[in-house]
Homo-oligomer: A and B are copies of this chain.
């Protein structure tokens, strides 16, 4: 039975069916003695995530010569990269779960953390099992492992940059380049590789993925500052609370450092009211608009790389998908 995927893929039946295969490959590699634990991990597979990264891999797997299109391999590589993404998501959850400021954790929370850490580790291994089973060469695998290292060092660098009022735009871009753009770049690049695209084409896929990832993360960071009128969702400002200073705030800090510093120096003690005052300053200084403008620029660069790739249906879908990212609300 096909595993259902996010409704956004409805208009693309072929891609939709390939994404279902991606989830099936992941599912078939999850084998744990304790079936209850296996079921818990499998829930993630069925959770209806957007599967953006594997979609990019599958689409980029159509760049090269169609006769060389090794579908099984591209689906497997997409599955490996999505498994990696799931592993990091689980570990991010541990970090969030561990963030209780009020009151001690329950035993249940403790067991949850342990479970989550080992589950994430297990998924890392599954990712490498799938990769080593389907990778073309050891060199390709080494490349993937190194890319993943970069993603993790991006996360580590971000941890260390917390509560740094002096974070520059350049620091920020370097950080999201390692953390988010890297995985999008690898996803696109790996797809191109499985289609035996030319070297120039795989490099174009890489740069397209990189620019998409940059835009994706900037938009993600902007969403943390924005309410949503449809869902009456208030801005969560979770990043500022955690000391992660993202682009809208960095733009505002350039304009109004004296006004913002007293707030930010309070670090974790910032109250909800004070956070709203910070938000007001970010809005006054147009930090959100400037950020969206930069995201738009990255999308344009991505589309420029895309335009140089060979024509085909995949190209149209890549165009639509990438343009759509700018308007996403969640």
- Residues on A lying within 8 angstroms of B by beta carbon are 31-34, 36-37, 87-88, 91, 94-95, 98-105, 107, 110-111, 113-115, 117-122, 124-126, 128-129, 131-133, 135, 137-138, 141-142, 144-146, 148-149, 152-153, 155-157, 159-160, 162, 174, 178, 268
B107 touches A104 (CB 8 A): no
A132 touches B125 (CB 8 A): no
B138 touches A142 (CB 8 A): no
Closest B residue by C-beta to A160: B34
* Bound complex: CA A91 to CA B117 (Å): 7
A115 touches B159 (CB 8 A): yes
A152 touches B268 (CB 8 A): no
Please give, as numbers and ranges, the residues of chain B lying within 8 Å of A113 by CB-CB distance: 94-95, 98
**Which 6 pairs across A and B sit closest by C-beta, in order of nearness?**
A122-B152, A129-B145, A132-B142, A128-B145, A132-B141, A125-B149
Please give, as numbers and ranges, the residues of chain B lying within 8 Å of A268 by CB-CB distance: 107
Please give, as numbers and ranges, the residues of chain B lying within 8 Å of A138 by CB-CB distance: 132-133, 135, 137-138, 141
B156 touches A129 (CB 8 A): no
Please give, as numbers and ranges, the residues of chain B lying within 8 Å of A111 by CB-CB distance: 159, 162
Closest B residue by C-beta to A151: B125
Nearest CB of B to A134, in Å: 9
Classify the interface of chain A: helix, strand, loop or mixed.
helix
* Bound complex: CA A12 to CA B110 (Å): 43
Q: Copies of this chain, how many?
A: 2
Contacts A132-B142, A142-B133 given; does A159 touch B100 at CB 8 Å: no
B100 touches A104 (CB 8 A): yes
* Bound complex: CA A133 to CA B144 (Å): 11
Contacts A115-B159, A132-B141, A157-B37 given; does A125 touch B103 at CB 8 Å: no
B37 touches A152 (CB 8 A): no
* Bound complex: CA A94 to CA B120 (Å): 13
Nearest CB of B to A38, in Å: 9
Please give, as numbers and ranges, the residues of chain B lying within 8 Å of A162 by CB-CB distance: 111
Contacts A111-B162, A121-B152 known; 10 new A-B pairs at CB < 8 A = A33-B157, A34-B153, A37-B157, A91-B117, A91-B118, A99-B110, A100-B105, A103-B104, A126-B145, A132-B144
Closest B residue by C-beta to A107: B268
Contacts A126-B149, A132-B138, A146-B129 given; does A156 touch B95 at CB 8 Å: no
* Bound complex: CA A76 to CA B102 (Å): 46
Closest B residue by C-beta to A124: B124
Please give, as numbers and ranges, the residues of chain B lying within 8 Å of A142 by CB-CB distance: 129, 132-133
